[in-house]
A and B are shown apart, each in its own frame.
Chain A
Amino acid sequence: MTRIVEAYIGEYASGKSENAVNRAIGLAEQGHKVTLVDLDLVEPVYTLRPLIPLLEEKGVHVIAWKTAETLGLGEAGSVLHPAMRWALKNEGDVILDIGYGAKGSAVLNLLEGVEDDPDFKVLLVVNTLRPMTDSVEKILAYLGEAGPADGFIANTHLGEKDTTAELMREGFAMVREAADRAGLPVVAMAVEERFRADFPDGIWEGVPVRFLRRYLPKGFW
C-alpha cells in the first residue's frame, strides 16, 4: 500500500484545515493508520483543538499542542512541538495542516526527513471566491509566494448559504487553468457532501471529487 503524506497549504481561510481533517478521517475510515499534524506556528491549538476528541474517536492520531502545554496563545508565537518535527517518521499516512501564519511550504523545512521522503506531496488548496485568489493570475502569484507545491485542491465555495454547484464548477475551471499553466495536476475537487447529487460519478472532468463533511464549524476560528 502506498503511503500517503500530504501537506495542505493555502491562503488564509482557503479551506486547508477542513480538507486536511476530511482527508485524515477519510483515510482512517478506509482502515489506514493516519497521523494528522496541526502545524500552525502562529495560533497553535486554536483551529483543531475542539475537534481532537472526535478525530481520535475516528482513529486519527493527532499531533497538536494542548492548551495546557502552551503559553501566550495567539501572539507570543510558539515553539515547534518535538512530535511535529519528527512527524514524517510516523508509521502510516501523515496529513499536515499548515497554519496560515507560516509562509506556505517554507515551514516544511522544519520537518525532519522532508527532503528525502519519496511520498511527500504539498497540495495547494484554492477557493477562487477568496479575493486574493480569484483569478488565474492571482492563483499563480500566490503559488509563487507560498509554493512550491505538487498539486492543487479546487475548493471553491461561498459557505453555508450561498454555495452552488455552478460556482464550484466555475472555480474548478479556474483552478484547472492555473494548474495547467503551472504544469501541476489538480489532485481533487472538494465538494461539500450536500452537493453529492450534483457530482454523481464522484469525478469531475477527470478529477476525483472529495465530498467534504463540515467539521470546522465545530472547530475554532
Chain B
Amino acid sequence: MSASAMRSKLPFLGAAVRHNRVPSPYPWLMPVILVMGLFYLYPVIDVFRYAFTDLTLLGGEGRYTLSTFANVLTRPELPQILWVTFVFTAGSVIGQQLIGLAMALVVVRSEKRNLFGTTILRTTALIAWVVPGIAGGIIWKMLFNEAPFGGLNSLLRLMGMAPVQWLSDPDVVMWSVVLSNVWRGTAFSMVVMYAALKAIDPSLYEAAEVDGASGRQKLFFVTLPQLRPAILVNMILITIQTLNTFDAIISLTGGGPGRATEVLSLYTFNVVFRNYDLAAGSVLSILMLVISLGLALVYAAFLPKDEKA
C-alpha cells in the first residue's frame, strides 16, 4: 500500500503523517505521570525538602538549613551503622542468591525427573516469603531464644551439644539476623532463578552433551553464563530490598545488643520515631537512596550491553 493510499484510508492521521510527525505522547502518558508524580515523586521531593530543614515531630515550623546534613553525616555512630548495614546486606544477598539458585536448580532438575516433593519444596519456600517481616522476626526470636526452653538451643541440648548465644553474643548475633533474613528472602531468588532457568534454550544443553560436557561443565559454561542477566537483576532487587529491611530486625533484636544489628534503615526509623528528628531521618533516607542507586549502577555495569538496552 502506497503512502498516499494509506493517507486516504487513515484520514485522521493525515496531518501528522503529512508533516512527518508522530502524534504527541503526552495525552497517553499524563495519567501515569500524574499517578507517579502524586504517589511517588511528591513524597521523594518532600524528603529532599525536609532534609534541608531542622524539622522535628515535636512542633515548630522549622527553618531551612544545611546543618542537618553536616550533623547527620558526621555522627560518630554512622560508620558502625554503615558497616553493620554492609555486613547484613552482603550476607543476605549472597546467601539468598546462592541458596535461591541452588533451590531453583533442584526444582528444575526434579521436575524433569518427575520426582515427588518438588511442589512441596517450592511451596514451603514461598510460605517463608509471604510471612510478614515482623512475624518472621518473632518466629526467629522464639527459635533463637537463649532461655533453657528456647527452640534451637533445646534441639542442640538434645543432641548433646552446647547451647549457642544466638542473640547475646555480639559476634554471633549478626549472623543470626542474616540467617533469618535469608530464610525469608530466598524464595524470591528461587522464583527469579527458576524462571530464568526455564528460559534457557534446551539446544544449548544438547550441544554441550554432544561435546561431552560434564554436569559441572554444563553448570559453569552454559547455565551460569545464561543466567548472568537474571542474577544481576535479582541482586539489584534483593540488595534494595535488604537495605530497606528493618521490620524483621526490630522484632528480632531491636538493633541490639548495643548497636550490633542496627542497620541504616532501622537507624533511620529510630531517628524519626524515637528521636522525633524528621530532618535527620530525611537525610538518612537520602543516604539510603544514594547507596541503593550506587549499587544498582555497579550491578548494571556488569549487565551485557544488549540486556541494558
- A is bound by B: no
Residues of chain A touching chain B, judged by Cβ–Cβ distance below 8 Å, are none
